[in-house]
Amino acid sequence: MIATPPRQAVAIALAMLAFGALPTQVRAIDPRFELDPRFLDKTAESPAKEREERPVRKAARSATGASHYTYTVKPGDHIFKILMKEYGLSNAEAEALVPEVKRLNGITDIRRLHAGQSLRIPLTHRREHADVAERKESKIVRGAPARTDGAGGKRPGSLAAASAGSDGKSAGHTMRMMNLSPEQEPANLDAVRQVWGGLVPSRPVSSRPISIEDKNFSLSLDPESFPSFPAADGGRVLVDAGGKIPPLVRSLIEEKDPSVRIVSESPRNRKRFMASLLEGARFYSVADNVALSFGADPKLTVNADFKIEKTPESVLNHDVVLMSVEEYRRGMPPVLVQFLRREGFQVLEPFPAGDQALPRGGRTLHQITAHDTRGIVDGLLRALDVRYEADRSVELYGMSDGGLRLEVRADRYFEDGRDRYVVSYFDGDPVSYTLTRLLETRGYRVVVLDPKDDFRKVSEKLLARLRLPGVFAQHDLLQYRDAPYGIQMSGVRMRAQGAGGESVFLTNVELDPLFRDLLDYSGYSVISH
């Protein structure tokens, strides 16, 4: 059986034969349709009617010209963190944009966002900056510099590269990546250079350019526009901020020199840039958003953006690095840095936050050092600024009660306005217990304590009688946004009486010098009773 070719194939073959049979001059373009090179650079204007009917692009935008981005809130988010971490704004830019975000989304408290909530983020200036960056994007200067021919004249490098040499080999093209934008390298990169030596001490940070020589081309990159950092495995990390290197050149670099890893994140977004830089450096282990805990009660929690183990032996050699780079995160106090060094952690903060010790006043921690019931009561009463009397006789019946006078001894007695308080320690004597309970019928507010009552029991009974709100639990003493450390401690938190409304924390936990110094640095006044 003979296969018959499809009709389309036959038609195409006949058309090609017919076109090949035509004379050469027939295939040439008609001179009437040739373009004059002088008119190529001119911009043709559209007819007047077409310009009138063309819609105005500005009318399609909002009245303010804003570009709104939608962001879904995750647990632990707040507006400052979203603007600076997710959209790369600086602290000043984020602070200027917060009122508009609150107005646009109807938010009253920026710290009370709900997970899953959708926020509209107006980032007009962000889009404008991106447009300017695109217009000023770096270009490739193609072809080699002008070369001198044998007659002493000069000819373009592209023509010289295309022509064959006297030895029969073709000359290669030289490609040099240059930054034509007037913007200088961000200052953030200088801070990274200063701490990078602590991460890769065996290889100093070099300013030499990355260059690749091949038989067909020669490629070099300006080290000021495209800086590089040594990697842990002997390679180099090339910083291409904003992705200015074209895909073709990028593929040439990765193919010809696999030891070079290219990072395209902008240094203006500190955390994303550092994450990509650490990934390209190929350390043994890099973890982000780290929280390290020390102790149980009190418990110290240290927060860091990155935890870096340079080698598999870093933990055994006490050579683990903790790094914080976020702009809105406060710096670690010196006492905490020294403690972490003793624990085998090196703290690196490329961007110093300065002295950010919180102002003193408004928060007081009262430490009750006694362990017996009587000592705990006395310490709590002094912490609450209550003046009391010990072993006082209080009147149960007076002479006005039928000529009978009966007084009962109170272990502790004090008054608060019209209220009279009695604290009694029950020692198993039923008569004493009955008389103490009779005091309640005469209007006394009685607190009966057992010798086995600990700090929690004593504080709960005493505060309940005093009608003071307070719950014994393990509380967070530092509630600051993205603080580098936190302290959790068991005790009772309450507000002091009066117009000041100071925060008062009552505890019997033993405090070592580290916690005292950290509390002092965080603005707490620690008083022992």
Query: Is the same domain home to 193 and 269?
Result: yes
Within-domain flag for 104: yes
User: Quick one: pLDDT at residue 242?
Assistant: 77
User: Quick one: pLDDT at residue 313?
Assistant: 92
The dihedral through the CA atoms of 322, 325, 329, 330 has a sign that is positive
Query: Is the same domain home to 115 and 201?
Result: no
User: Quick one: pLDDT at residue 528?
Assistant: 93
Helix (H) or strand (E) holding 48: helix 48-53
Give mean pLDDT, residues 12-24. 52
Q: 306 Cβ partners below 8 Å, 6+ apart?
A: 274, 275, 278, 286, 287, 288, 290, 321, 322, 323, 324, 325
Within-domain flag for 413: yes
Query: What are phi and psi for residue 443, nearest 5 degrees?
Result: 95, 0
Location of structure tokens 């984020």: 94
Query: Is the same domain home to 273 and 202?
Result: yes
Per residue in 199-226, pLDDT (tens digit) is 887 666 556 677 888 888 888 888 888 8
Residue type present at position 325: V
Location of structure tokens 């010809």: 256
Residue 269 or residue 340, greater confidence: 340
Strands 445-449 and 419-425: parallel
Query: Is the same domain home to 89 and 70?
Result: yes
Share of the chain above pLDDT 70, in %: 68
User: Quick one: pLDDT at residue 61?
Assistant: 43
Within-domain flag for 270: yes
Query: What are phi and psi for residue 163, nearest 5 degrees?
Result: -80, 155
Average pLDDT score over the chain: 76
Within-domain flag for 212: yes
Give mean pLDDT, residues 275-284. 92
Show the tokens assigned to 190: 């200088």
Q: 251's torsion region: left (phi>0), alpha (psi -120 to 50) or beta?
A: alpha
Grade residue 475 by pLDDT with cuts at 50, 70 and 90.
very high
Grade residue 122 by pLDDT with cuts at 50, 70 and 90.
confident
Grade residue 169 by pLDDT with cuts at 50, 70 and 90.
very low
In this structure, the number of other CB atoms found within 10 A of the CB of residue 261 comes to: 22
Show the tokens assigned to 370: 């006694």
Show the tokens assigned to 61: 């935008």
Residue type present at position 330: R
Show the tokens assigned to 172: 């290669």
Query: Is the same domain home to 290 and 306?
Result: yes
Show the tokens assigned to 47: 């007819």
Q: What is the spatial distance between Cα 197 and Cα 194, in angstroms, rounded to a whole number?
A: 7
User: Quick one: pLDDT at residue 158?
Assistant: 39
User: Quick one: pLDDT at residue 482?
Assistant: 58
Query: Is the same domain home to 131 and 213?
Result: no
Per residue in 424-453, pLDDT (tens digit) is 998 888 888 888 888 888 889 999 999 899
Per residue in 490-507, pLDDT (tens digit) is 999 987 665 456 789 999
Q: Are 395 and 405 in contact (CB under 8 A)?
A: yes
Location of structure tokens 């005292």: 516
| Helix residue ranges per DSSP H, 111-246 | 124-135, 157-162, 187-199
Residue 74 or residue 480, greater confidence: 74
User: Quick one: pLDDT at residue 513?
Assistant: 94
Q: Quick check: 62 pLDDT over 60? A: no
User: Quick one: pLDDT at residue 142?
Assistant: 40
Query: Is the same domain home to 258 and 292?
Result: no
Within-domain flag for 18: no
Q: Quick check: 53 pLDDT over 70? A: no
Residue ending a domain, choose from 256, 281, 306: 281
Number of domains making up the chain = 4
Query: Rounded to the nearest 5 degrees, what angle is found at the Cα of 445, between the Cα atoms of 441 and 447?
Result: 115
Give mean pLDDT, residues 360-373. 88
Residue 35 or residue 115, greater confidence: 115
Grade residue 268 by pLDDT with cuts at 50, 70 and 90.
confident
Identify the domain containing residue 112 by its residue range: 65-135
Helix (H, G, I), strand (E, B) or coil at 407: strand
Within-domain flag for 58: no
Q: What is the spatial distance between Cα 233 and Cα 219, in angstroms, rounded to a whole number?
A: 24
Q: Are 497 and 470 in contact (CB under 8 A)?
A: no
Per residue in 291-335, pLDDT (tens digit) is 999 999 999 999 999 999 999 999 999 999 999 887 766 788 899
Q: Quick check: 109 pLDDT over 80? A: no
Sheet harboring 173-177: ordered strands across? Answer: 140-141, 173-177, 217-221, 211-213
Per residue in 66-81, pLDDT (tens digit) is 567 888 888 777 787 7
* CATH classification at residue 107: 3.10.350.10
Instruction: Give me the residues paired with residue 216 across strands.
Output: none
Residue ending a domain, choose from 466, 493, 522: 466
Show the tokens assigned to 481: 């946004």
Per residue in 144-156, pLDDT (tens digit) is 444 444 444 444 4
Within-domain flag for 321: yes
Residue type present at position 166: S
User: Quick one: pLDDT at residue 4?
Assistant: 53
Residue type present at position 150: G
The dihedral through the CA atoms of 147, 152, 153, 159 has a sign that is negative
Q: Where are the beta strands (DSSP E) in 33-90?
A: 68-72
User: Quick one: pLDDT at residue 189?
Assistant: 80
Helix (H) or strand (E) holding 504: strand 503-507
Residue ending a domain, choose from 449, 466, 483: 466
Show the tokens assigned to 335: 């006492």
Q: Are 109 and 481 in contact (CB under 8 A)?
A: no
Closest CA to 265 of 189, 199, 347: 189
Per residue in 328-361, pLDDT (tens digit) is 667 888 999 999 999 999 999 888 665 555 666 6
User: Quick one: pLDDT at residue 295?
Assistant: 93
Q: What is the spatial distance between Cα 497 and Cα 468, in angstroms, rounded to a whole number?
A: 9
Query: Is the same domain home to 238 and 310?
Result: no
Residue type present at position 223: P
DSSP, residue by residue, 370-393: --SHHHHHHHHHHHTT---EEEEE
Within-domain flag for 42: no
